[in-house]
């Protein structure tokens, strides 16, 4: 496996000074056609993400697998672990850590900024990583982060496994105010998958997130439920993601 260590530090407008961990890179085995950042779940790291991505049959994709900052997490009673943003109980009236969301979305965009112009770029993740992926999709459509700073990446694909969309209640209203935002939303392919037996991020939040994206004008949103699946991934689900990415990004595969 080809890894490169990039020490990105905390240069992503993270005003609380949390430092992002180590970034792992899995290089494409074939022609480099796409680069995707893959984001781990709560308490995990970029190393395990890179091992999962290495196992997928996607020879045309370069994977960038960063590690979240280590920080106190409200849902764990303030216990510290790797987390892309602070999260309490996932609920319909939950408060979103906008500062943490923006800091992580900015860090991830910075990882994609130097990719060649002819390479398609995207973001994917699991659980809390999926939440950041979907939040990044809304930043792309709106053309800016929650802070108002402009969003610099032309996203071409977004993947969210067992996750949810932060700020799902207000996204439709924000997108509908701008023709450009509506145009970008309608052009971005998104796939969400969710286990119907998920006891960590309940299935209804995945379903509600997909519905909210669709109603906000993200017309190319696909939602795949998995009967009996808990809060983890299975080969059938990953095969679906591989097929979707190959089709949506027009990858050559191993021809």
User: Which residues of the chain carry a pLDDT beneath 70?
Assistant: 1-16, 90-94, 253-255
Instruction: State residue 157's pLDDT score.
Output: 97
Residues facing residue 80 across a β-bridge: 72
Please count the other Cβ atoms lying within 10 Å of the Cβ belonging to residue 72: 13
Instruction: State residue 173's pLDDT score.
Output: 86
Instruction: State residue 2's pLDDT score.
Output: 39
Instruction: State residue 171's pLDDT score.
Output: 87
Instruction: State residue 88's pLDDT score.
Output: 80
**Cα separation of 120 and 32, whole Å?**
9
Instruction: State residue 39's pLDDT score.
Output: 98
Buried/exposed 15-32: b ≥16 CB within 10 Å, e otherwise? eeebebbebbbbebeeeb
3-state secondary structure of 222: strand
Instruction: State residue 91's pLDDT score.
Output: 61
Instruction: State residue 161's pLDDT score.
Output: 97
**Cα separation of 173 and 242, whole Å?**
32
Closest CA to 192 of 104, 128, 108, 130: 130
3-state secondary structure of 72: strand
3-state secondary structure of 203: helix
Could you read off the pLDDT of 220-233 as tens digits, one per residue? 999 999 999 999 99
Quote the tokens at residue 56: 């997928």
């Amino acid at each position: 496996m080809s890894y490169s260590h990039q020490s990105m530090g905390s240069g992503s407008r993270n005003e609380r000074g949390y430092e992002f961990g180590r970034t792992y890179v899995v290089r494409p085995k074939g022609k480099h056609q796409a680069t995707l950042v893959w984001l781990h779940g709560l308490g995990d790291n970029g190393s395990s993400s890179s091992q999962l991505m290495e196992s997928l049959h996607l020879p045309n994709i370069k994977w960038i697998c960063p590690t979240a900052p280590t920080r106190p997490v409200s849902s764990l009673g303030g216990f510290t672990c790797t987390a892309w943003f602070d999260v309490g109980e996932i609920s319909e009236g939950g408060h979103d850590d906008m500062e943490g969301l923006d800091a992580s979305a900015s860090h991830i965009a910075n990882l994609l900024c130097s990719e060649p112009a002819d390479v398609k770029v995207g973001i994917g993740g699991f659980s809390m990583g999926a939440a950041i992926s979907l939040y990044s999709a809304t930043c792309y459509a709106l053309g800016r982060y929650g802070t108002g700073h402009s969003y610099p990446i032309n996203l071409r694909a977004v993947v969210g496994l067992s996750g949810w969309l932060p700020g799902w209640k207000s996204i439709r209203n924000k997108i509908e105010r701008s023709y450009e935002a509506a145009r970008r939303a309608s052009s971005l392919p998104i796939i969400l998958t969710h286990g119907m037996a998920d006891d960590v991020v309940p299935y209804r939040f995945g379903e509600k997130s997909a519905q909210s994206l669709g109603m906000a004008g993200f017309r190319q949103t696909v939602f795949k439920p998995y009967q009996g699946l808990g809060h983890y991934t299975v080969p059938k689900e990953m095969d679906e993601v591989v097929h979707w990415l190959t089709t949506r990004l027009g990858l050559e595969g191993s021809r």
